[in-house]
Amino acid sequence: MPLDADARFDDHGAGWRVYGPGSSHTPTVTGGRARVLYLLPNGAIEFTRS
């Protein structure tokens, strides 16, 4: 959810992003500020440092 008009999440503007099961990515916000909401099956998520 962009807080600034030019904010982009993973190089996309406002909208849903769907990543498949077992996928891995490094979330990035560029061009401003945004709120990121994760909706996960059974709350399954693992944050790691790269």
Total domains present in the chain? 1
Residue 49 Cα to chain centre, angstroms: 16
**Is 19 inside a domain boundary?**
no
Give the pLDDT of residue 50. 67
- The CA–CA distances, whole Å, from 13 to 10, 21, 25, 30, 33 equal 9, 23, 17, 10, 11
Give the pLDDT of residue 31. 96
* pLDDT digit string, tens, across residues 2-49: 999 999 999 998 888 888 877 887 889 999 999 988 887 776 777 777
**Is 31 inside a domain boundary?**
yes
**Containing domain of residue 6, as a range?**
1-14+27-50
Give the pLDDT of residue 38. 81
Residue 3 Cα to chain centre, angstroms: 14
Give the pLDDT of residue 32. 96
Q: Which residues pair with 30 in a beta bridge?
A: 8
| Pairing, β 8-9 against β 29-30 | antiparallel
Give the pLDDT of residue 40. 77
